[in-house]
Chain A
Amino acid sequence: MCCTHSFEDRISQDKDITPIDLSGIKGMKFFDPHVHMTSRTTDDYQAMADAGVVALIEPAFWLGQPRTGLDSFRDYYSSLIGWERFRSSQFGIKHYCTIGLNSREANNEALAEQVMEMLPLFIYKEGVVGIGEIGFDDQTAAEEKYYRAQLELAKEASLPVQIHTPHRDKKGGTTRSMDIALEHGLDPRMVIVDHNNEETVKEVLDRGFWAAFTIYPFTKMGNERMVEIAKQYGSERIMVNSAADWGISDPLAVPKTAALMKMRGISDEDIRLITYQNAITAFAQSGQINEADFTGDGSTIDQSQRFEGNTVLRGGQQPRIDKNSIIIS
């Protein structure tokens, strides 16, 4: 879930522009464990595939407009495991999701109750790799109630938890989120604490949780700061994501961060862990990630995605168009 931007944030932008050079990461594979593709175009899918993104996780979130009825939630969850999954597959990107009631909408208690009753219908679906994104926004009593209820659900289903930490009172909110998770008996190795920054990372790692960083302009992490974090903390239990959504955000944040890390001397192995492997290790605890599905090696590939043993994926691939041409045919 993300954020609003103010114009003041954008004023001081006439700095040096570093042109994109992704040549240093050519051939690398990336896993973006937090990106809201529902809010993105097919051009983004193509660009992500071209930049080496082979798989992603789409957490259930706030659509920017509050939902007023249960069916809106059901259709949204269905789209995450249905249409969006197919849309992604057309670009050769394996699409996973986490399912949950986001913190903002937890504040509509009457509706939240109904959503909680419906969640068990979705969390056991194939490719649902966790409960998320859940946690605090305003840190109200209602938010806490449904955060706790969903931690219990995650425990019961043996699924990882993807925690959204709040924008306002971030440090306190992050500590509180972890306190509550431990209080409910969750193993910190099953909990991915998202949207970290320089102020929160130490405590998250010290307490044994996974620390995810969202590379998102103006309001979250910049990737130069991320490079410094990697230099200071290394690669253990650290991952980056784009959280790209309906705001000004960048679906190429993961490959771009990898490229910047490469340019600034971070080792290839650390880059691999931070931009690919750690996310897989954390979310594969759901039992729902088979790496062969997106690395394309071995015979363990999901045969249901193929037709009559053909190497052509079911449903076909999207044709390419030349975006640099003024001609549209």
Chain B
Amino acid sequence: MYTYDINTLKALFKNILAANVTADVLDWLLQKSNFNTQFVLAPRKTGKAALQISEQEAQQLDTILPGVSLNGWTVDMLGRAYLLLELDETDTEEYFRKIENLFLAAEVNELVSLYSSLPLLAHPDMWVKRCAEGIRSNIGNVLEAIMYQNPYPQKNLDQSAWNQLVLKAFFTGKEVGKIQGIDNRANKELAYVISDYVHERRAAGRDINPSLWRLVGPFIDDKLFDDVKWAFESGVYVNQKAAALALSQSNYPTATELLNTAPQLKAAIEQKELTWDTLTAEFQH
């Protein structure tokens, strides 16, 4: 069972593919032959050029499947995604077995294609464990396929798996701002784990990623306030700015008071001159 209009999506993908591959290759993709072989051989047929997609097509896609983007995809990835959409999803067990088998013997680019395609698959709840398994990977581009521009995790993962995803992103130096739902799915449990993590980093004398405070801000209480205050008063400007942003996310009275001691930062936040995005751009360069 698809949770979106599969036929419209297939028609759109077919159009995009037609603009990116020759007619022969398109025929090869559309013919139904051995599924595994087609999946493996796709890059040899389609090539691996960056996918060309029009503004209009991108908007259509966002209408059919909000949050899904083909930005950064290569032609072979879309070819593989299309093959997945051709599978018969009505026999649930068989559908699961076929796709799971691809994961079990996948090379890196196949893994990237498969994880990037999670939001396109039928029976979304069926892939939760697979997604959590992908987060356990240490292969950087596999993690990015799950974390960046992928709406599947935020929609389907339970809280503990979600929290693992976010923590793994920090541990592996990913840009957490690219994780869909990073703010919507923030939770107190995660804020507390992050507080412990910050204490560990401080004890080790290691840098603290300013983005961490983004997940703490909305849950500031007595305990978390001390952490944010430490960052605010750390003497490192980028940390102070991050702490100010975190304070601005909180209604906790002491937090508001502390933010009021830095009227310039407060004004910058109110005027959207200082946001998590501008801050990220600043410390990642």
Contact = CB atoms under 8 A, between A and B. Distances in A.
Contacts of B104: 74, 78
A262 interface: no
Given A83-B138, A316-B140, A125 B107 contact: yes
B105 A304 contact: no
A307 interface: yes
Given A78-B106, A304-B77, A124 B41 contact: yes
A121 B72 contact: no
Nearest to B41: A124
A127 B110 CA distance: 12
Interface string A119-153: 00110111100000000000000000000000000
B37 A124 contact: yes
B3 interface: no
Contact of A124 (B40, B49, B76): B40
A156 to B, nearest CB: 13
B235 interface: no
Nearest to B37: A124
A72 interface: no
A81 B50 contact: no
A303 B107 contact: no
B40 A303 contact: no
B48 A302 contact: yes
Contacts of B109: 126, 304
Contacts of B44: 126, 287
B36 A85 contact: no
B252 to A, nearest CB: 35
B44 to A, nearest CB: 7
B181 interface: no
Contacts of B280: none
B71 to A, nearest CB: 7
Nearest to A74: B105
A77 B105 CA distance: 8
A66 interface: no
Interface in A282-305: 287, 302-305
B139 A83 contact: yes
A177 B181 CA distance: 59
B251 interface: no
Nearest to A299: B49
B107 A308 contact: no
Contacts of A309: 50, 72
Contacts of A305: 141
Contacts of B139: 82-83, 86, 315
A170 interface: no
B108 A82 contact: yes
Interface centre among B108, B140, B144, B148 (most CB of A within 10 A): B108
A302 to B, nearest CB: 6
B113 to A, nearest CB: 9
Interface string A301-323: 01111011100001110000000
Nearest to B107: A81
Contacts of A329: 205
Most chain B beta carbons < 10 A, residue from A83, A121, A304: A304
A250 B172 CA distance: 31
A316 B171 CA distance: 13
Contacts of B71: 308
Contacts of B76: 304
Contact of B72 (A287, A307, A315): A307
Contacts of B106: 78, 81-82
B166 to A, nearest CB: 18
Contacts of A121: 36, 40, 105
B138 to A, nearest CB: 7
A165 to B, nearest CB: 29
A90 B36 CA distance: 29
Interface string A164-180: 00000000000000000
B112 interface: yes
B141 A86 contact: yes
Given A124-B41, A287-B44, A85 B107 contact: yes
Contacts of B72: 307-309
Contact of A307 (B48, B108, B144): B144
A305 B43 CA distance: 13
A219 to B, nearest CB: 32
A122 B48 contact: no
B141 A82 contact: no
Contact of A86 (B40, B108, B173): B108
Interface in B107-157: 107-112, 138-144, 148
Given A78-B106, A82-B107, A127-B107, A303 B37 contact: no
Given A126-B44, A307-B144, A309-B50, 12 more contacts: A78-B105, A78-B107, A81-B106, A82-B107, A86-B140, A124-B40, A126-B109, A126-B110, A307-B141, A314-B112, A314-B141, A315-B139
6 contacts: A78-B104, A86-B108, A126-B110, A303-B74, A315-B140, A329-B205
Which are the 5 A-B pairs with shortest beta-carbon distances?
A315-B140, A81-B107, A314-B141, A86-B139, A304-B74
